[in-house]
């Protein structure tokens, strides 16, 4: 999931944490975790929007529209939860929808943004180094 631009990668790491916590919530923790997801999305999307503006990102509208749709869905559930109109099944369904949505958005829209920002800042594409990369070595031949 790493895209090579630290502010976006940090936001994505936090996205995974808050959404996984929402998926595992109980009746007692659902409200706090729903609010944590909304607060996270506001910050995450604001970070990406700032980088779009700073670097004159060309595909901004399409990217922001998708953010807004996701934020609208989360805020609708939070509004219903505030009046006690949402069950645990609905909350978990929202978490699963966010889990299903995220990889496609990150792979397509956020990776394009990350590549654009790195090109603008450093003149090249990002290089991502992974610590957990396993390299298969061929069996020794005698």
Please enumerate in sequence order all residues whose Cβ is within 8 A of that of 22, keeping only pairs 6 or more positions apart, or say none: 30, 33, 34, 36, 37, 91, 92, 94, 95, 98
Of residues 3, 110, 111, 116, which one binds Fe ion by CB under 5 A?
110
Q: How far apart (Å, rounded) are the C-alpha atoms in residues 99 and 96?
A: 5
Which CB, 10 or 85, lies closer to Fe ion?
10
**Which is nearer to Fe ion, 9 or 86 (by Cβ)?**
9
User: Can you tell me the distance from the alpha carbon of 81 to that of 15, in angstroms, rounded to the nearest whole number?
Assistant: 20
CB of 125 to Fe ion, least distance (A): 18
By Cβ distance, which residue is nearest to Fe ion? 110
Phi and psi, residue 128, nearest 5°? -105, 125
In the shown chain, the binding pattern of residues 58 to 97 toward Fe ion, with x for contact by CB under 5 A and - for none, equals ----------------------------------------
Q: Which residues bind Fe ion (CB under 5 A)?
A: 48, 110
């Amino acid at each position: 999931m790493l895209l090579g631009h630290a502010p976006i990668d940090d936001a994505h790491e936090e996205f995974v944490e808050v959404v996984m916590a929402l998926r595992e919530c109980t009746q007692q923790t659902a409200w706090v975790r729903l609010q944590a997801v909304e607060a996270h999305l506001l910050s995450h999307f604001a970070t990406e929007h700032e980088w779009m503006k700073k670097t004159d990102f060309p595909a901004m509208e399409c990217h922001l529209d998708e953010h807004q749709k996701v934020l609208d869905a989360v805020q609708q559930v939070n509004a219903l939860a505030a009046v006690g109109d949402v069950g645990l099944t609905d909350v978990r369904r929202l978490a699963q929808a966010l889990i299903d949505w995220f990889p496609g958005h990150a792979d397509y829209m956020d990776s394009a943004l990350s590549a654009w920002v790195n090109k603008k800042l450093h003149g090249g594409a990002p290089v991502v180094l992974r610590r957990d990369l396993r390299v298969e070595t061929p069996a020794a031949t005698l």
